[in-house]
Structure 1
Amino acid sequence: MDDEAQAPMLVNAVDYKGRPVFKSNSGGWRSAAFIIGVEVAERFAYYGISSNLITYLTGPLGQSTAAAAASVNAWSGTASLLPLLGAFVADSLLGRYRTIAVASLLYILGLILLTLSAMLPSMIGFECKMKNIKSCSPPELQVILFFSSLYLVAVALGGHKPCTQAFGADQFDGQDPEECKAKSTFFNWWYFGVCAGASVTRLIISYVQDNLSWALGFGIPCIAMVIALVVFLLGTTTYRYSIAQNDKGPLVRIGNVLVATFRNWRETPSNMATDQVESREFLPDQSSQQLRFLNEVLLEPNHLKEKYYACSIAEVEEAKAVLRLVPIWGACLIYGIVFVQSSTFFTKQGATMDRLVVSGFKIPAASLQGFTDLTVIIIVPIYDCIFVPFSRAFSRKPSGITMLQRIGTGIFFSTLSMIVAALVEMKRLKTAQEYDLIDKPNVTIPMSVWWLLPLYLLFGVSDVFTMVGMQEFFYDQIPTELKSIGLGLYLSVIGVGSFLSSFLISTIEKATGGDDRDSWFPIT
């Protein structure tokens, strides 16, 4: 009891009963371990669906490669954009803890329905004899139930994904030097856990789906999600829960600033009140001279209160903090487009190649994505334990290199991976032409699938830099009450990248496949 009395009390956090909390008995790695465990199980469930989704669409559901890739991109794009809505609900209405709990229940329901949709063909006696993949016509009920449950999972992801990571980072006090350093390490080990869960599901679930049963392949991720919810609830008494600083929702405040800026466009802003430092309590240390057009709302309240909207410096600085992220967000879209290729065209490439490992065993095409995760699992400890201390000695920065340097390095490696992918595709098509296998998608091209290994390894290195860098950057550079929104912005990079990829596929397919010409997306 004496130790607790001497321990620092946290100002902006309470326990699960709404009581003040002390650093000594809450949060930290003790709580973060529960949340990382939740994410491992959730990523196991997610990649159990997404990794091999294109194979299910081109197989049991009978879609073409281009149509299946567009479907995957549309779903993954939606699943990556909905976190913005989920983050709004968490930051303005429910709070992160309750949002995670509700989203987990929706997630489990979606996976149950997805499993049932995969069982429908056998339940109604449907048999698809696939001599020609285009002749496969699944029951309409199966298609409707499948896509409905798939998008229910996307809705659940919207609430689960941004809140879990933000809630985990909330367990560390950014004002404490030691906990601040631990928070930076948290993002590295968070992604380590993500890739650990993903690698297991890609190596195991893909085999189950390809060789045993799609229903079982979707059912196991459902069980994993139940485990994730149980683990999350077990940590309830150890968590730190953030306290809202303002009765108005953060997005409402930002919206008010933008509306007020428009209304006051032609007015002269008042002098900045230098003695108001309220915003410095929760915003990064940025100059108020940036994005000066927003200062239009800093009007003399007594003079214009009735005719115009006036906002506080804190609210204006909050809006500036969000808008400053837009250019970085736009630059990261390049990576977002590249990211979605690993679960679509890279997987489809591997499915047509020689995947025989030993006599009688073929590695599932989707399992190749596991090499990206294994690369991350190997690189993250090296990065955190060797690279960061080494670079810290030169840069004097706690994280070794800046977050933007980390993101830029990752984008460079992702570009290299696409160059390798293009070279491999040229080799694959040339081999198919040599053996007269063009337009024969069910025949294996005599080219080893291990040609794809270098691009997956490069993609893993890219992930360590860009994915973790984006997570930390968008969490760090956002106002305290918008942390979930910040992580939603990072996820929206993948979402918009997915839609841009889908748009490019459709455009190129139409441009190159007309007038009896061969499309750039061959079915070989």
Structure 2
Amino acid sequence: MEKLSGVKREEKMRVSDEGLKRENEMEKGQCSSQEQPSLQRNAGGWKTMPYIIGNETCEKLASMSLIANITVFLRSKYNLDGLYLVNVVSIWFGTCNFAPLAGAFVSDSYFGKFWTLLLGSFSSFLGMGILTLAAGIKHLRPPPCNERTGDCTKAQPWQLGILFFALGLLAVGAGGIRPCNIAFGVDQFDVTTSQGRRELESFYDWYYLSFTIALFVAFTVVVYIQTNVSWVIGLAIPTGFLAISILVFLAGAHIYNYVKPQGSVYTDLVKVVVAAYRKRRFSVGSLGQYSLYDPISDDESETPMTRLPHTERYLCLDKAAVIIDASELNSQGKSRCGWKLCSVQQVEGLKRLLGIFPVWFSGITCFIVMDQQNTFGILQAMQLNRKITPKLEIPAGLMGVTSMLALSVWITFYEQLLIPVSRIMANKEVRISLRQKMRTGIVMSILCMLVAGVTEHKRREVALRYRSFVAPMSLAWLLPQFILSGLTEAFSAIAVMEFLNKKLPQSMRTVAGSIFFLSISSASYLSSVIVNIVHHATKKNDGSAWLGGHDLNRNKLDYYYYIIAALGVVNFIYFTAFASRDLPSGSSVGDEEAEEVQ
């Protein structure tokens, strides 16, 4: 769901945890640089945590409540049909997960974390405020659908324009908040001292405790109010919390430690491409006649263990590090222009980045499967019997909790039971290898779509038999597909995240989180493309198609699920034949480390 999948919740927590550790490592190195301002003794520290954690708690409560229920909101308040609704949600999810890449670049290169966070929070507040007004002012949205005839009035273009403007502001807010919130908290601690390291560990604990509380309240209380009480109140609550988050964040401005922007690692990657292009006329075969520029870095965090060895992959990029002319170096032996001569470490960093894409691409198909539950899965729930009592009805948006719980249960079972037992039996720590995790995740994604297809076929069959918009079937019929979606995430998504952090060098670990968000974003965009292709390919002369309209009973959603399952089979073949070569297959920690060295 960082979605967090739009933004899948539990996975984002794990990705953020890795991001914290990597940011911590980078701060250790940066603190030794003369360009990096040292921590002021009277600034930062534990006294800033109530403001930073308070801001994060309020922001997450607001954003997650909308993410969980956006499909229901657009269907019930804007009368969006199935196809258009799925496109809007998928593209918005994708943009929210793509925006952090731009936000990280802006923060690292220009504004710094504080101002990026503040501007992102203000943008989210404006976006949520507009949605609240749209829910409360009838003229800003179309009239409700006729429950008897099922006829729905389409929203006017200007009404949709206001809606999309609000969603755009929320996406901008996500771009500013997600890459900076935890990193700004890390900036408050002096990790060169034992006290600073202890306080940082406590920060992790309190951060995730507050995150979990916000998540629980958003997925239960706020979603219930939105669905069963009032959308105006249900949206006004997160809007109010966003306002509180900004005020709380500003209240601590006088005691924060501010780290000046030091430039983005993305710039170094672009420099390698530009430098290699400038030397494109030199053949790869003649590179052995020249020396490679590989200076010792002034950064104390770089050691012989962390330096990347020169590899023979992507030799065309080595041109960026070839010293063609002595004039490319200054009197100290340093590169005069980073856009003409790059170090071997920069080149090898880009090679590592290119090397992750076979596995990364395989993970996107798994994310596409998870993306279906945020849209079509919720639409299925809206056409099932959700009543517990005559007056109490389960909100359709709560189905996402099932996937989150399945992921949490598996991780707890794996970490707290399977690993300790295997450690006792094998006398060493035995874990599921990354290759096994990815393969299992792909299989789970296929099963998820097959089960979803069978369930939808049954739901539509019962609804048509009783001539009812809502099928007289329990909502529990959807539990298996949502559980399988959560297990898909537990295996494949976590495997991709772990692979990215292991594969990329220490200087590029912050890129891993951005690449992970990019995979979620790509899955959302591709999901929208696939939906439109299926719709147009199956559209008949009478206007009917497998997907589209306000009534799933008139669709063939089960066929669409089977198509996604077929893509999963193709992905399994692709991964087994090609991408799996880049993943270690060892089942113990030592085995995997040995394979990585090789």
TM-score, length basis structure 1: 0.80
Shift of 1:169: 6.7
- The one-letter amino acid of 2:340's match is Y
Deviations 1:160-193 (A, max 9, x none): 1123345567789999999999999999997786
Instruction: Tell me: CA distance 1:32–1:331, structure 2 relative to 1, closer, same or farther (3 Å).
Output: farther
Cα distance in 2, alignment partners of residues 463 and 240 from structure 1: 36
Q: Match for 1:160: what amino acid? A: I
Worse-matched range after superposition: 154-163 or 234-243: 234-243
Task: Please give the residue correspondences for 1:400-415 in structure 2 after superposition, counting only pairs within 5 Å.
Answer: 400=431, 406=437, 409-415=440-446
Partners in 2 of 1:165 and 1:357 — Cα distance? Answer: 39
Q: 1:512 to 1:199 in 2, by over 3 A?
A: farther
Alpha-carbon deviation of 1:453? Answer: 1.1
Task: Work out whether 1:288 is the aligned partner of 2:303.
Answer: no
Task: Report whether the alignment pairs 1:454 with 2:480.
Answer: yes
In the alignment, is the contact (CA less than 8 A) between 1:375 and 1:460 conserved in 2?
yes
Determine the structure 1 residue equivalent to 2:177: 160
Structure 1 residue 325 corresponds to structure 2 residue 346? no
For each residue in 1:38-57, what CA deviation from the matched residue of structure 2 results, as whole angstroms up to 9, or x when unmatched?
Answer: 55543332232222222222
Say if 2:12 is the partner of 1:12. Answer: no
Out of 276, 285, 293, the residue aligned to residue 261 of structure 1 is 276
Give 2:74's match in structure 1, choosing from 48, 57, 65.
57
Distance 1:34 1:57, change over 3 A: same
Unaligned runs of 5+ in 1: 1-8, 438-442
Query: Does the residue aligned with 2:546 lie in a helix, a strand or coil?
Result: coil
| 1:510 alignment counterpart | 536
Q: 1:430 to 1:329 in 2, by over 3 A?
A: same
- Secondary structure of the 1:493 match is helix
Residues 214 and 331 (structure 1), Cα distance of their counterparts in 2 relative to 1, 3 Å cut: same
Q: Percent identity?
A: 26
Tell me the CA shift for residue 475 of structure 1.
4.9
More deviation in 172-181 or 367-376? 172-181
For residue 344 of structure 1, give the secondary structure of its aligned residue in structure 2: helix
Alignment of 1:305-344 (within 5 A): 305=328, 309-344=340-375
RMSD across aligned C-alpha pairs, in angstroms?
Answer: 4.2
Give the distance between the partners of 1:89 and 1:38, measured in 2 at CA: 21
2:405 corresponds, among 371, 374, 396, to 374
- Partner residue of 1:215? 232
Say whether 1:297 aligns with 2:320.
yes
Q: State the secondary structure of the residue aligned to 1:52.
A: helix
Mapping of residues 383-422 of structure 1, within 5 Å = 383-387=414-418, 389=420, 400=431, 406=437, 409-422=440-453
The aligned amino acid for 1:359 is P
Secondary structure of 1:318 counterpart: helix
Deviation for aligned residue 1:135: 3.2
Deviation at 1:351, TM superposition (A): 0.6
Name the TM-score, length of structure 2 as normaliser: 0.71
How does 1:72-111 map onto structure 2 within 5 Å?
72-111=89-128
- Cα deviation, residue 148, structure 1: 0.5
- Cα distance in 1 between the residues matched to 2:49 and 2:441: 26
Aligned length: 501
Give a deviation string over 1:67-108, Cα, whole Å, max 9, x none.
111111111111111111111112222233432222112111
Shift of 1:312: 1.9
1:209 Cα deviation after fit = 2.1
Taking the aligned partners of 1:392 and 1:88, their CA distance within structure 2 comes to: 42
The aligned runs of 1:453-492 (5 Å cut-off) are 453-475=479-501, 477-478=503-504, 482-492=508-518
Find the counterpart in structure 1 of residue 376 from structure 2.
345
8 Å CA contact 1:13, 1:21 repeated in 2 = no
Native 8 Å contact 2:96 2:521 kept in 1: yes
Q: Name the SS for the 2:473 alignment partner.
A: strand
User: For the structure 1 residues 129 and 425, does the alpha-carbon distance in structure 2 shift closer, same or farther, using more than 3 Å as the test?
Assistant: closer
Q: Take 1:403 and 1:174, find their aligned partners in 2: how far apart are those partners?
A: 31
Native 8 Å contact 2:293 2:321 kept in 1: no
Aligned residue for 1:519? 545
> Is 2:79–2:145's contact at 8 Å kept on the other side of the alignment?
no
8 Å Cα contact 2:293-2:322 kept in structure 1: no
Q: State the Cα distance separating 1:225 from its structure 2 match.
A: 2.6
- How do 1:189-268 residues align onto structure 2 when only pairs under 5 Å count? 197-229=214-246, 249-267=264-282, 268=286
Q: Secondary structure of 1:162's partner?
A: coil
Whole-angstrom distance in 1 between the partners of 2:544 and 2:88: 22
